[in-house]
């Protein structure tokens, strides 16, 4: 069984809080032996039941969904600054998106349809409000019921950080925004820190990982040295790609967030941007460098005119199993959603 199979088997697993998941996921990245390969967050793939679990249990769930990850520390230096962004086409598109502005409404709605190995659709509705709340459902009705009943998931510091980093990039400070996005879940990588501070951050992350394994009764992995060189760069860009994706898939209909994510994507070395058409509309394909995904593949297709996500195709490095997710993003009002007008 590979990581994709584990993710599929978690379809009926209870939900953990986003903050607990991110804390567990990031800590586990410091302990696993394989290269970082996770770009998939469970809430993008499945509609999770409302029942919560403790943070200690979060580590076990995160261990199942993390796709062969590891972590590392980053000394201060060239890695912290954004590489020169290619002006065309992502930066130009980002500027056009920001200039067009956000459509009226008070929330972003993302509807995703995931096709797994059995090619059966699995629907997920995610509503991210301008106040930072989340509502989820597996159909238009369950989402409407959640909004009408006030069943919002609490805003998390992680969500706030990735949104703020995207907005910072959209408004011009891409170097600072890049660091903020990379370190959104924590700074175990030591980005922007002195060598001594980076060592402390790495040691603290190793200690947190060990404690999580102890709480779940699993063997504690041996401490690992901080990665260096190209491995370090790949870890940095993996975190950038993953965290920016979370901002996009949670709040794509917000033009400022979308523009910022596009600008940050443009700073990833070896990112491939291609042209295609989807349903007769011009589109761009953004292909993450395989090296930052541990040899896996992640291709994101966006609308060439407005930057909205259309489709994502993910291929596991180990098994070459392929998953496809289709996306639709809208600007809506909570009142309309609560009334079932979706």
Q: Please tell me the distance from the alpha carbon of residue 275 to that of residue 61, in angstroms, as a whole number.
A: 37
Phi, psi of 303 (to 5 degrees): -65, 130
| Predicted pLDDT of residue 320 | 76
Three-state secondary-structure class, residue 177: helix
Q: What is the pLDDT of residues 79-117, one digit of tens each?
A: 455 555 545 689 999 999 999 999 999 999 999 999 877
Query: How confident is the model at residue 88, as a pLDDT?
Result: 66
Question: What is the C-alpha separation between 301 and 318, in angstroms, rounded?
Answer: 23
Residue 266 in contact with residue 86, Cβ under 8 Å?
A: yes
pLDDT at 206 > cutoff 70: yes
Q: Please report the pLDDT score of residue 87 as a whole number.
A: 52
Amino acid 319: pLDDT:
75
Written as six digits, the tokens of 163 are 């949104």
DSSP letter (8 states) at residue 87: I
> Given this model, what pLDDT does residue 156 score?
87
CA distance 106 to 260: 19
Kindly report the pTM of this predicted structure: 0.77
183 vs 34, higher pLDDT: 183
| Chain segment 163-202, per-residue pLDDT in tens | 999 999 999 899 999 999 999 988 998 999 999 999 999 9
Output the average pLDDT for the chain.
Answer: 78
CA distances (Å), 151 to each of 12, 16, 198, 314, 334, in order? 20, 15, 40, 31, 12
> What pLDDT is stored for residue 44 in this prediction?
39
Q: Which residues contact 46 (CB under 8 A, 6 or more apart)?
A: 10, 11, 114, 122, 124
pLDDT digits (tens, 9 = 90+) for 245-262: 999 999 999 999 999 999
**Two tokens, residue 298:** 């992640």
């Amino acid at each position: 069984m590979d990581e994709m199979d584990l993710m599929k088997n978690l379809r009926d697993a209870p939900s953990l809080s986003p903050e607990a998941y991110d804390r567990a996921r990031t800590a586990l990245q410091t302990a696993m032996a394989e290269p970082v390969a996770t770009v998939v967050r469970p809430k993008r793939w499945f509609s999770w039941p409302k029942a919560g679990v403790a943070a200690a249990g979060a580590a076990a769930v995160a261990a199942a969904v993390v796709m062969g990850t590891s972590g590392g520390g980053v000394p201060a230096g060239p890695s912290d600054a954004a590489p020169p962004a290619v002006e065309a086409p992502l930066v130009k598109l980002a500027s056009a998106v920001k200039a067009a502005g956000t459509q009226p409404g008070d929330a972003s709605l993302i509807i995703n349809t995931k096709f797994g190995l059995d090619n059966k659709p699995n629907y997920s509705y995610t509503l991210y409000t301008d106040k930072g709340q989340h509502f989820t459902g597996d159909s238009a009705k369950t989402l409407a019921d959640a909004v009408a009943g006030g069943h919002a998931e609490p805003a998390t510091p992680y969500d706030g950080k990735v949104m703020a980093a995207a907005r910072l990039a959209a408004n011009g400070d891409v170097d600072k925004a890049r660091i903020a996005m990379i370190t959104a879940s924590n700074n175990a990588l030591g980005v922007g820190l002195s060598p001594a501070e980076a060592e402390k951050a790495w040691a603290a992350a190793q200690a947190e990982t060990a404690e999580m394994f102890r709480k779940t009764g699993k063997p504690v992995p041996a401490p690992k040295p901080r990665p260096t060189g190209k491995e370090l760069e790949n870890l940095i860009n993996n975190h950038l790609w993953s965290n920016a994706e979370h901002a996009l898939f949670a709040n794509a209909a917000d033009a400022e967030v979308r523009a910022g994510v596009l600008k940050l994507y443009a700073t990833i070395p070896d990112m491939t941007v291609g042209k295609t058409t989807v349903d007769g509309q011009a589109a761009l394909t953004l292909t993450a460098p395989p090296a930052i995904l541990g040899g896996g593949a992640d291709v994101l297709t966006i609308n060439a005119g407005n930057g909205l996500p259309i489709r994502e195709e993910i291929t596991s490095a180990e098994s070459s199993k392929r998953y496809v997710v289709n996306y639709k993003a809208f600007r809506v009002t909570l009142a309309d959603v609560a009334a079932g007008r979706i």
